[in-house]
Amino acid sequence: MEESVSKFGERLKRARLEQGLTLRKLAEAARVSPGTVQKIEAARLVPSIEIFAKIVRALHRSPSYFFGEGENQVNVRIIRASEMQSIAAASSIHILNIAKTLHDPRMEAFLVRLPPHTRSGRPIGTYGELLFIMKKGTLNFMVNGKREVLREGDTLHLKAQVPHRYENKTGTPAEFLAIWSPL
């Protein structure tokens, strides 16, 4: 499995043990199965965005912590395209972490690429605020059961706990920025 997935599992286990949590206690707090936590820690399972958000919240950590950016926190960062880490949340959806942690972070940012005829799955709900900015293509966003079509240049800003999902129903790839403020 990819090195970033392996490091994610190692950091998850470290965070869990630092807080004195068993697999079962973390699973209960995150509302996932103990087997899911165990597989992620062993790098045998790549978590979905929903499961990732649940684990981040249960461990009270920044999402970037799990990809190693919390070690040398600074006030300014330049991230070269070659340094961006991929988060393989779903087999065909490509997610790049494009904003590494600054000192005392207030947001996370991801570039999401969806091939034609793919979707995020069941509705996602987390905490904080989300801002989606369409860069290429067209996506259907389901927000509270209502369909919103976003095209290049459109934005969608919402409270992250509002159930939402996205889908590329077109024959061309779509790309958007997802900016998450967990506060």
- The CATH number of the domain holding residue 34 is 1.10.260.40
Residues 115 and 48 in one domain: no
Q: Is residue 87 a part of any domain in this protein?
A: no
pLDDT average, residue stretch 97-120? 81
Phi and psi of 92, rounded to 5°? Answer: -110, -15
Distance CA 53, CA 126 (A): 6
Task: Take residue 160 and report the two structure tokens written for it.
Answer: 């992250």
Q: Which segments of 63-111 does DSSP mark as H helices, in order?
A: none
What pLDDT is recorded for position 1?
46
Phi and psi of 129, rounded to 5°? Answer: -130, 150
Phi and psi of 42, rounded to 5°? Answer: -85, 5
Residues 173 and 112 in one domain: yes
* Model confidence, pTM: 0.64
Higher per-residue confidence, 91 vs 157 = 157
Higher per-residue confidence, 44 vs 153 = 153
Q: Is residue 94 a part of any domain in this protein?
A: no
CATH of the domain at 160: 2.60.120.10
Among 83-92, 120-129, 148-157, whose mean pLDDT is lowest? 83-92
Residues 111 and 48 in one domain: no
What's the Cα-to-Cα distance from 143 to each of 81, 122, 157, 167, rounded to whole Å?
31, 11, 11, 12
Q: Is residue 162 a part of any domain in this protein?
A: yes
Residues 60 and 116 in one domain: no
Instruction: Flag whether pLDDT at 88 surpasses 70.
Output: no
Q: Is residue 90 a part of any domain in this protein?
A: no
What pLDDT is recorded for position 140?
95
Q: What angle do CA 50, 100, 125 make, to 5 degrees?
A: 20
37: containing domain? 3-67
Q: By percentage, how much of the chain surpasses pLDDT 70?
A: 83
- 38-70 confidence digits (pLDDT tens): 998 888 887 877 788 888 888 877 776 776 655
